Amino acid sequence: MAPPRIGLALGGGFARGIAHAGVLRVFERHNIPLHCVTGVSAGSIVAAACASGAQPDEIARAGCTMRFGDVARWSLSRMGFVVSERMKPFLQGLLKSHRFEDMRIPLGVVATDLCTGEPVSFRDAGDVFLPIRASCSYPGLFQPVRSDGRVLVDGAMSVEIPALLARELGATHVVSVHLPAPSCRRPPTDVFQVIRRCFQIMQIHNEDGWRQASDLVITPDLRAIEWDGFERGPELVEAGEAAALAVLPAIQSWFPGVPHRVSERCAPEFSKPFPTPYRSPEPA
């Protein structure tokens, strides 16, 4: 029997996307092979870094120390308040490869066509910078990204977690990582909070599609951490690790007869302390 081909599908969440690095730590430490990885919004950055060969600790440190100015620049227009050209040099420093065809494992990134409302999948060939910028273009704040006559915004507008794309890339078993937003404790007080809350409501009512395409869902406990909680980066990584460890036996059961070994290089004591992160003032 052929071994399972695991696809990892990563959702968005801005700073909370740092939790994805904790999931990757567990996969690497316990030698769980990935066939492919897909992502939207913040998850697209982590997915690209993973596919390129960046180590989970590298990804975590990049997330914890990222500043708003590293990926964005204020530029007021009718389409938004921020442009994302600065994301390219940030990605150049994090990713080991910069084109889809050069990735170590297949990578998929999803953006949303603002005119049709349909998801736009990027895979197989081409540079990854524009697709990631598009997938991270949070509506109302970031100006949309234009590509081939299309106007593209955040991938999570159309697909909260790209589980189906992982199957299209050849995965037989899809593990989705869901980073649900904290509960709404008080009414929004500004336009960005209104947009964000509308986003959350829309996603709650559209979960069925990606859940049906998933074999397993990992949901780190991030209820106490806000979207901009960069200062809690180590907690986010730990939450991702804890959630992945909780489902590890189920994943290992997909590999009957294969001994379960822990990689020494990726053992907990291998991880270095995280630097004190900078708190970014706005979402990306």
* Contact assessment for residue 11 and residue 160, using Cβ atoms and an 8 Å cutoff: yes
Helix (H, G, I), strand (E, B) or coil at 76: strand
CA 153 vs CA 70, 114, 132, 141, 276: distances in Å:
19, 6, 10, 11, 31
∠105-154-125 over CA atoms, to 5°? 30
Two tokens at 176? 């989705």
Catalytic residues: 41, 154
CA 18 vs CA 42, 68, 156, 240, 259: distances in Å:
8, 15, 17, 8, 30
Distance CA 172, CA 166 (A): 9
* Dihedral (CA of 24, 16, 134, 73) sign: negative
Name the phi and psi angles at 22, rounded to 5. Answer: -65, -40
15 DSSP assignment: G
